[in-house]
Amino acid sequence: MQASFSFQLAPDRDLIRITMAGFFEAADIARFTRERNEAMTGLACAPNQHLTLVDIRGMNIQSQEAVAMFAEVLRNPQSLSRRIAFVVGRSLARSQIIRAAGGRGRLFFDIAQAEAWLFQDADAAAA
């Protein structure tokens, strides 16, 4: 399955939702990074203050090269999220995101749980 991804912004919550599927080659990861960076310009928050929800339930097992490249993307200090949640399926791809994320973020099997975790501090402050 060819790589695909999409972005959805919720500027009022400083949130970018990312959906990713398929098998990513180096060119796909470069295109993803460029388009993600462009999408993030639609957020009004200060740098590194956004929240990220990444739905990777549709991703295939990736090559070791792709995992290493995604790890670099996730470690880039210019695009680090304040908090990042990964929605995963029950496949081997889960272990790959754990490696790529390098201990950042949390894994969830459900989008609602991921959003609850992302917003828990903001919701508590608003109460």
Q: Which of 1-5, 8-12, 76-80, 92-96 has the lowest mean pLDDT?
A: 92-96
List, for residues 8-32, the tens digit of each pLDDT value: 999 999 999 999 999 999 999 999 9
Determine the Cα–Cα distance for residues 38 and 54; give it in Å rounded to an integer.
17
Domains and CATH numbers, the chain: 4-126 (3.30.750.24)
pLDDT (average), residues 121-126: 59
Q: Burial of 90 by CB count in 10 Å (0-12 exposed, 13-18 middle, 19+ buried)?
A: exposed
User: Which uninterrupted H or E stretch holds 67?
Assistant: helix 64-75
Q: Kindly report the length of the chain.
A: 127
